[in-house]
Structure 1
Amino acid sequence: MSRRIVCLRHGQTLWNVEKRFQGHTDIALDETGVAQAARAASLLAALRPTMIVSSDLRRAFDTASALARLTGLDVAVDKALRERGGGEWEGLTRAEIRAGWPVQYEEWDAPGGETVTHVADRVAEAVLRWAARLDENGLLVVASHGAAIRLGLARLLGLPQELWPVLGGLGNCSWSVLEEGRKGWRLLEHNAGTLPEPVSSDDSPEAATAGG
């Protein structure tokens, strides 16, 4: 075993359903989102997390709190884990954004919003800062947001920016898992919603638990 990080996206909100850009707007979980958070908590509690940290936005904090109630852990709050700021697009649907900013829509670059590199840097720095507090074999759960997690993961994994799109998005209350290896952090799972079976392969000393 080694130190691990679970990056958990928050549960569903009404704005998710309406396909509105949420960004820094502080939207609560809807009824479905509360149920999703409870289900994710019941699964992730089995991994015995040792630390939980959340974005300061309540959709992420309430998702983290569901896990905290089962584990008895406190939830630390870090503003650096919040979603990508959407500038003038916050609260608008994709259709409204496409109609009003057709050029920027193609690049998904909101006027007055954050750049992808800024988000990647702030999220990756925050995750590493909290991971540094883990004991050996500790497990950190980071409750955050779809774009924030995807961009932070890309930076943590050292992907060149032109390859960031190879990481797909995360569903509500899905998660990605990083494990610390001899050469840094590596991705074990992405956009998962269930607990995996143990890996057995001939791939590498780090990946293999048995031959075959």
Structure 2
Amino acid sequence: MSRRIVCLRHGQTLWNVEHRFQGHTDIALDETGQAQAVRAASLLASLKPTLIVSSDLSRAHDTALALARIVKLDVAVDKDLRERGGGAWEGLTREEIRARWPEEYIAWEAPDGEPVTEVAARVVAAMRRWAAQLDDDGLLVIASHGAALRLGICELLGLPEELWHTLGGLGNCSWSVLEEGRKGWRLLEHNAGTLPEPVNSDDIET
């Protein structure tokens, strides 16, 4: 057996529906998001996770708690698993961002926001730190955010930055599965558990 990581994106929030940049702003799950978390938990519980960790933001933490209640585990919290910080963009819709910062919008780089390379570095450090606590056949569930998880996965897989865009986004309460092999980590599943709905995320590819 090999160590595995399940990267679980949080459930839906009102700001997801309104296409607002959430970033570090602490937005709660809406009613749909709560139901999504319960559904995802019922499916992921069958994988028998041995460790659960989440972002310190409530939308991710509450998603993790839905699983923790079923499998009788505690949820560790790690601030390094937060979403990408959006600076002045947080709380604004994509249309508002495009109108005020047309050039930055094209690059999807908030002038006072967090660079993607910094997000990738802190998220992958957290992923490695928590995975190191697993037994050889352990399963870690990380409840986090769309952009943060995608960037962390790309970094963990060793993809060069110019190819990060090739990995698509995660739907609300969908997940990716990584497994540690002899040559490092590999991606087994991506955006699993999703329905044919658009991905509403702070990420550029939405």
Interval of TM-score (by shorter of Structure 1 and Structure 2): over 0.9
2:93 maps to 93
Whichever of the two has the greater Rg, that structure is: 1
Rounded to whole Å, the distance in 1 between the matches of 2:3 and 2:156 is 15
Residue identity in the other structure for 2:145:
H
CA distance in 2, matches of 1:4, 1:59: 23
Q: What residue is the counterpart of 1:115 in the other structure? A: 115
SS in 2 for 1:114: coil
Q: Deviations over 1:120-167 (max 9, x none)?
A: 000000000000000110000000000000000010000000000000
Name the SS for the 2:113 alignment partner. Answer: coil
Give the distance between the partners of 1:103 and 1:192, measured in 2 at CA: 33
2:73 paired with 1:73? yes
Report the counterpart of residue 183 of structure 1 in structure 2.
183
How far apart are residue 51 of structure 1 and its match?
A: 0.2
| Matched letter for residue 161 of structure 1 | E
What's the secondary structure of 1:41's corresponding residue?
Answer: helix
* Partner residue, 1:55: 55
User: 1:17 offset after TM fit, Å?
Assistant: 0.1
1:112: Cα distance to partner? 1.1
The question of 1:155 aligning with 2:143 is answered no
What SS is found at the alignment partner of 1:186?
strand
Distance 1:47 1:143 in 2: 15
Structure 1 CA distance for aligned equivalents of residues 2 and 169 of structure 2: 26
Q: Shift in Å at residue 110 of structure 1?
A: 0.5
AA aligned to 2:80 is A
CA RMSD of aligned residues (A): 0.6
Runs (4+) of structure 1 exceeding 6 A deviation are none
**2:200 is matched with which residue?**
none
Cα deviation for residue 8 of structure 1 reads: 0.1
Residue 27 of structure 2 aligns with which residue?
A: 27
Looking at structure 2, the residues matched to 183 and 138 of structure 1 have their Cα atoms a distance apart, in angstroms, of: 18
How far has the Cα of 1:59 moved from its partner? 0.1
Cα-to-partner distance string for 1:91-139 (whole Å, 9 max, x where unaligned): 0000000000000000000021100000000000000000000011000
- 1:163-174 equivalences in 2 (<5 Å): 163-174=163-174
CA distance in 1, matches of 2:8, 2:99: 32
The TM-score, its normalising length taken from structure 1, stands at 0.91
Count of residues paired in the alignment: 194
Rounded to whole Å, the distance in 2 between the matches of 1:26 and 1:178 is 27
Distance 2:93 2:111 in 1: 15
After superposition, where does 1:115-134 map in structure 2 within 5 Å? 115-134=115-134
Q: Tell me how far apart the structure 2 counterparts of residues 181 and 193 of structure 1 sit (CA, whole Å).
A: 24
Distance in 2 between residues matched to 1:9 and 1:26, nearest whole Å: 15
